[in-house]
């Protein structure tokens, strides 16, 4: 069964909640709600309030490995990256952030794990 992007993101945050006692930095992980369907009026309000197309879905504002923080554009396994998203990822990389596209929750949690130096057991998501 193919999961939606939203379901994959829910899995990422469930994983983070399970591990945040051992890795308190995970408490800083958050979603940037830029996507979704909106009415024209809602879209205009959001744009006026600073929402910008293409900003990655997930942010971990924790410095590691010479990066200022981590941004993840999360896609369902068969999702596609828009031009706006690719441009944001490139711009964030140029500013010293690790910014990546991940296809599915497992790929995203793997990136977060490596970024934070969290060991992984054979069972997905388990720490050592």
Q: What is the pLDDT of residue 35?
A: 67
Q: What is the pLDDT of residue 58?
A: 98
Q: Which domains does the chain have, with CATH numbers?
A: 5-116 (3.40.1350.10)
Q: What are phi and psi of 119, to 5 degrees?
A: -70, 155
Question: Can you tell me which residue has the tokens 């720490």?
Answer: 127
Q: What is the pLDDT of residue 28?
A: 98
Whole-model pTM: value is 0.88
Mean pLDDT by 10 residues, the chain (128 residues): 89 96 97 79 84 93 97 94 96 98 96 90 47
Q: What is the pLDDT of residue 121?
A: 56
């Amino acid at each position: 069964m193919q999961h939606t992007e939203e379901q994959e993101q829910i899995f990422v945050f469930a994983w983070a909640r399970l591990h945040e006692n051992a890795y308190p930095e995970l408490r800083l992980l958050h979603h940037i709600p830029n996507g979704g369907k909106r009415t024209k009026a809602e879209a205009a309000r959001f744009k006026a309030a600073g929402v910008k197309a293409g900003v990655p879905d997930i942010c971990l504002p924790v410095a590691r490995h010479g990066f200022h923080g981590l941004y993840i554009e999360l896609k369902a396994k068969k999702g596609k990256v828009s031009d706006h998203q690719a441009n944001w990822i490139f711009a964030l990389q140029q500013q010293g952030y690790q910014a990546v596209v991940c296809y599915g929750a497992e790929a995203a949690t793997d990136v977060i794990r490596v970024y934070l130096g969290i060991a992984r057991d054979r069972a997905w998501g388990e720490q050592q």
